[in-house]
Amino acid sequence: MLLGFLAALLAFVTLLTGCSSASQGGTAASEGSQRVVKTEKGDVSIPVKPERVVLLNFALAGYLYDLGAPVKAMTPEFTDAKDPQFAEFWKADAEKAGTSFLPWGSSGFDLEAILAAKPDLIIAGGMGFPYAQASDVYQQLTDIAPTVMVNKKYTTWQEQLKFLATDVFGQPDLYQHHLDAYQKRKQEVKAAITLPPGPVSYLSITADAKPYVLMEDQGLPIELQELGFKPAPLYQQYKFEPYTKGGDMFKLSPEQITKYLTMPTVFVMGFNRDTFKLDELKAKSPYSKLPAVTANRMYQLPYWVVRGDYDESMALLDQLQKYFS
C-alpha cells in the first residue's frame, strides 16, 4: 500500500510540475493568487481561492461552509464510521458542494484517499484526536497539498473561526458578524436564566459506556463560564492526564466517578453520538450515587456541544434557556 501511495504521489507531483513549467512566467503568473498563513508549523503558502479543499476534522466543517470553501472531501465525525452523516446544521451546504467522506480509522488518516481527492488545500488540526493524527503525518500531508494546521490551543469557536476567516480565507467581516450575533444572543440568555448551584462538571459518555470529563480550561466549560456556570477545577487540581496528546478531556474509572464528581451540578453528553438515555444512566451505579443525580441536577446536552462550532453554540444557548429560565 505504501509503495502504491508513493507512486501515486510521484505521478501527481510530476503532473503539477509539468503544468507549472508550461505556464509562462511561473512565479510571476501566480503573483496575487497565494496567501501566506502563519501557523504553529511555520508559514504556509496557500491559494487565495482554493478549488478543492480536503478537511481532516469534522468539527471544523461548519466554519468552512459558512466561508464558502469548496470542501470536496472530509473525514467523518468519528473513526471507522460505517454510515457517516453530515451535521444537521450544514447538511444542505455539504450536499450542494458535493462533499464526500474520506475513510478514517483509529490508526490514522488514509493518505492514498486524501491524495486521490486531489486537494489544492488541506485543513487539519483543531481539538482532540484529529489534531494528534494530523501532527503525526504533517510532512506527508504537505507533500500532497499545502496544509494548514488549526492550532489545538484554539479551543473556542471564536478562536477557530477567527483564524480560519481572517488568516486563511480572508473574510474577517464574516467572523465579526458571527461574533456580534452570538454576543447578543448570549446576553439575552444570561439575563433570562437562573443558574443552578455550582461548580459544575461536564461528563462525556462513549459508546462503550466509558466516562470522560471535559477539561475545565478549554472548550465548552470556558464558553459556559461566561454565562456564570463556574467549572469545577478537577483537571488542574488532581493533575489528570488528557486521554490523548492534544486532548480536551480525561478518563475516569468507575471507582473514580463517585470520588471526584461530587459537585452539585453535572452536564452529561454522548461522545461523537448519542450514547445513552438519561433516565437509564441516572439509575445505574455509580451514577445513581452522585450528588447531582440525587438532587436532580444532572442535565443532558446534545453530543455535538463538546466541540461546538458557531451554529451548535447558538443552538446550545437555546437549550440552556429552556433548562434554566
pLDDT in tens, 60-100: 999 999 999 999 999 999 899 899 999 999 999 999 999 99
Q: How confident is the model at residue 1 (pLDDT cuts 50, 70, 90)?
A: very low
Say whether both 215 and 297 belong to one domain: yes
Say whether both 118 and 212 belong to one domain: no
How far is residue 267 CA from its own chain's centroid? 19
* 167, 169, 172, 177 alpha-carbon torsion, rounded to 10°: -130
Q: Is residue 208 part of a domain?
A: yes
The DSSP bridge partners found for residue 299 are: 267
Q: Among candidates 50, 71, 46, 49, which has minimal Cα distance to 61?
A: 71
Q: Are strands 71-74 and 265-270 parallel, antiparallel or unpaired?
A: unpaired
pLDDT computed for residue 128 by the predictor: 79
Say whether both 48 and 131 belong to one domain: yes
Say whether both 140 and 39 belong to one domain: yes
Say whether both 232 and 303 belong to one domain: yes
Say whether both 159 and 248 belong to one domain: no
Domain count, the chain: 2
Q: Which of 112, 139, 172 is the last residue of a domain?
A: 172
Q: Is residue 283 part of a domain?
A: yes
Please state, as a whole number, how many other Cβ atoms lie within 10 Å of the Cβ of residue 143. 16
Say whether both 127 and 242 belong to one domain: no
Q: Is the pLDDT of residue 9 over 50?
A: no
- Give the span between the Cα atoms of 127 and 57, in whole angstroms: 9
- Give the span between the Cα atoms of 309 and 160, in whole angstroms: 9
Question: In this structure, what C-alpha cell is assigned to residue 84?
Answer: 457517516
pLDDT digits (tens, 9 = 90+) for 244-291: 776 789 999 989 999 999 999 999 999 888 999 999 999 999 999 999
Q: Is residue 184 part of a domain?
A: no
The DSSP bridge partners found for residue 268 are: 203, 300
Among all chains, which residue has been given the C-alpha cell 455550582? 198
Residue 192 identity: A
Q: Is residue 21 part of a domain?
A: no
Q: How far is CA 246 from CA 6, 133, 153, 169, 264, in A?
A: 29, 10, 9, 25, 29
Averaged confidence pLDDT in the chain: 90
Question: In this structure, what C-alpha cell is assigned to residue 228?
Answer: 456564570
Q: Is residue 299 part of a domain?
A: yes
Say whether both 111 and 205 belong to one domain: no
Q: Which of 172, 198, 213 is the last residue of a domain?
A: 172
Say whether both 168 and 49 belong to one domain: yes
Q: Are strands 108-109 and 104-105 parallel, antiparallel or unpaired?
A: antiparallel
Q: Is residue 136 part of a domain?
A: yes
pLDDT digits (tens, 9 = 90+) for 19-61: 433 332 222 223 479 999 999 999 999 999 999 999 999 999 9
- Whether the CB-CB separation of 181 and 81 falls below 8 Å is answered with no
Q: Is residue 237 part of a domain?
A: yes
What pTM was computed for the model?
A: 0.81
Q: Is residue 309 part of a domain?
A: yes
Say whether both 239 and 286 belong to one domain: yes
Say whether both 164 and 220 belong to one domain: no
Q: How far is CA 108 from CA 56, 104, 129, 186, in A?
A: 11, 7, 10, 37
Q: Which of 119, 145, 172 is the last residue of a domain?
A: 172
Q: Residue 91 sits in which domain range?
A: 34-172
- Any idea what the CATH number is for the domain that residue 119 is in? 3.40.50.1980
Say whether both 148 and 38 belong to one domain: yes
Mean pLDDT of 174-191: 97
